[in-house]
Amino acid sequence: MVDSKLIDHTLLKAYATREDILKLCNEAYKYHFKSVCVNPARVSLARELLYGTDVLVCTVIGFPLGANTSDCKAYEATRAIADGADEIDMVINIGYAKEHNYEAVYQDILAVVDAADGTTVKVILETCYLSDEEIVECSKMALKAGADFVKTSTGFGSKGATVEAVSLMKKTVGDSMGVKASGGIHTYDDYLKFVEAGATRIGTSNGVEIMEGNNNE
């Protein structure tokens, strides 16, 4: 069975219109998803549409490249929360990770965690670009910085979530953090395999299809 409260119903396409966001929020309300995940410019609209429901508003920070300066990411987080965001999904500086400058990765994450001031922060590693060692070390930095989740992917990289990456992240952080699988998760079977691998949240634009696939089982 699908637990709808594990799903972040996601629409991050650059060309998403107001009508698209309305449809997303209506679907999220219908299926009682954990959140909608939208770009920062749509946070206030999503908050308005979902006010008084059990669906949270999630947004993305430093998205999708992660190459913004840390102070810009911190401001983005502060502004998004002021606009009504309940959760923040930030992208690490992937270049720092590839240099193995893990102190810089840590400080970048910490800037957003501090700015979020208790609001849930998920840290996107963009695992398609990282070695296993880099995934482990960046997950450790997210844990050290006090973030709430590590997350696989933006959905805009060369590849989305893999079972191997999710399992490695879960093994690294244990029960101290959540693990969010995102990118390329389209079906009920995809949902199951990532939950079995240790994911405690699923980011997908196919939440309705997953729910309907579950209903057809």
193 residue type, one letter: K
Number of domains in the chain: 1
103-159 confidence digits (pLDDT tens): 999 999 999 999 999 999 999 999 999 999 999 999 999 999 999 999 999 999 999
Q: How confident is the model at residue 213 (pLDDT cuts 50, 70, 90)?
A: confident
| pTM (predicted TM-score) | 0.96
Residues with active-site annotation? 89, 151, 180
What does the block give as tokens for 84? 């009504």
22-37 confidence digits (pLDDT tens): 999 999 999 999 999 9
* Residue-range definition of the domain harbouring residue 180: 4-215
180-208 confidence digits (pLDDT tens): 999 999 999 999 999 999 999 999 999 99
Residue of 31, 7, 37, 3 whose CA lies nearest to 201: 7
CB 186 within 8 A of CB 206: yes
Q: How confident is the model at residue 215 (pLDDT cuts 50, 70, 90)?
A: low
CB 142 within 8 A of CB 169: no
The pLDDT, as a whole number, for residue 217 is 39
CB 173 within 8 A of CB 179: yes
CATH of the domain at 167: 3.20.20.70
